[in-house]
Each structure stands twice: as structure tokens, then as C-alpha cells.
């Protein structure tokens, strides 16, 4: 709605629309690239792509969810205790952000709360980093 009002007051020029579309495509491409990289067994590359998508479009619920799940996966696969703790905390924080963006103050469904509890227990189970 806000964007429509801005366009009515100050209609975009053709080159402005191209910038908007290119920006949207870039976000979408980085998001898709991360999925392909994760399926191909390149979780670190997928993380870099998702973080780029997040920088281009902060607070996008799907990106937050995918980042939470990827951080959780990375925490489960690393043997480095410091990285495990960092990944666990990042997974929990991104999932909390996903819940806030998706449910906007409404209670999350039981399966979402269960997933959050799993992330919380992973954070608690990970030994403190010296």
C-alpha cells in the first residue's frame, strides 16, 4: 500500500523500475543459489549466499528460516566447540526472528514452538566457549 502511494505521488521512471526489478532478482537468485549449494553439499557456500540475500533484503521471513535451519545443520556437523556454540546461537536467534516476522505477536503453532525448544536445548547443551 505504501509503495502504491509513493508511486502515485512520484511515479517511477523506467530506469527506477529496472533497479527495483534487478534488486528483487538479485535477492531471489542468491536465495535460490543457497538452496542449490546446500543440496550439492556445500553448506558454507550456501551460508554465504543466504547472508548476502539477507543483506540485500533484511528481515525476510523465508531467509531467516533458511538461515536458522542451515546454522542448525552446521552446528550439528562441526567438531569445533567454538563454531558449534556460535552456530547454535545463530540458529536460535534467526529462528526467533523468523517467528517474530511470521506470526507478528500471535502464538506460534506447536510444531514451531517444538522446533524453537530444540534450538534452545542445543544452545544449552553446547559447552561455553572459553
pLDDT in tens, 24-65: 888 889 999 999 999 999 999 999 999 999 999 999 999 999
Which burial class, exposed, middle or buried, applies to 80 when counting CB atoms under 10 A from its CB (0-12, 13-18, 19+)? exposed
pLDDT of residue 119 exceeding 50: yes
Q: Is the pLDDT of residue 118 over 70?
A: yes
pTM of the model: 0.80
| Distance, CA of 30 to CA of 13 (rounded, Å) | 26
Instruction: Give the span between the Cα atoms of 7 and 1, in whole angstroms.
Output: 10
CB 86 within 8 A of CB 47: no
Task: Return the percentage of the chain with pLDDT > 90, whole number.
Answer: 69
Residue 90, pLDDT score? 96
Distance in angstroms (rounded) separating the CA atoms of residues 30 and 20:
16
Is 13's pLDDT higher than 60? no
> Which burial class, exposed, middle or buried, applies to 29 when counting CB atoms under 10 A from its CB (0-12, 13-18, 19+)?
middle
Residue 24 has what pLDDT? Answer: 81
* In the chain, where the domains are located: 1-57, 59-130
Query: What pLDDT, on a 0 to 100 scale, did the predictor assign at position 7?
Result: 39
Tell the residue number behind the cell numbers 536460535, with chain if given: 92
pLDDT of residue 28: 87
Amino acid at each position: 500500500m505504501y509503495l502504491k502511494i509513493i508511486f502515485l505521488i512520484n511515479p517511477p521512471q523506467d530506469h527506477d523500475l529496472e533497479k527495483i526489478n534487478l534488486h528483487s532478482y538479485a535477492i531471489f537468485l542468491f536465495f535460490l543459489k543457497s538452496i542449490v549449494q546446500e543440496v550439492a553439499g556445500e553448506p558454507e557456500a550456501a551460508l554465504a549466499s543466504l547472508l548476502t540475500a539477507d543483506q540485500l533484503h533484511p528481515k525476510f521471513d523465508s531467509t531467516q528460516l533458511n538461515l536458522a535451519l542451515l546454522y542448525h545443520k552446521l552446528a550439528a556437523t562441526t567438531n569445533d566447540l567454538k563454531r558449534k556454540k556460535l552456530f547454535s546461537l545463530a540458529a536460535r536467534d534467526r529462528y526467533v526472528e523468523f517467528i517474530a516476522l511470521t506470526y507478528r505477536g500471535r502464538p506460534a503453532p506447536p510444531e514451531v514452538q517444538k522446533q524453537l525448544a530444540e534450538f534452545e536445548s542445543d544452545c544449552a547443551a553446547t559447552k561455553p566457549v572459553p
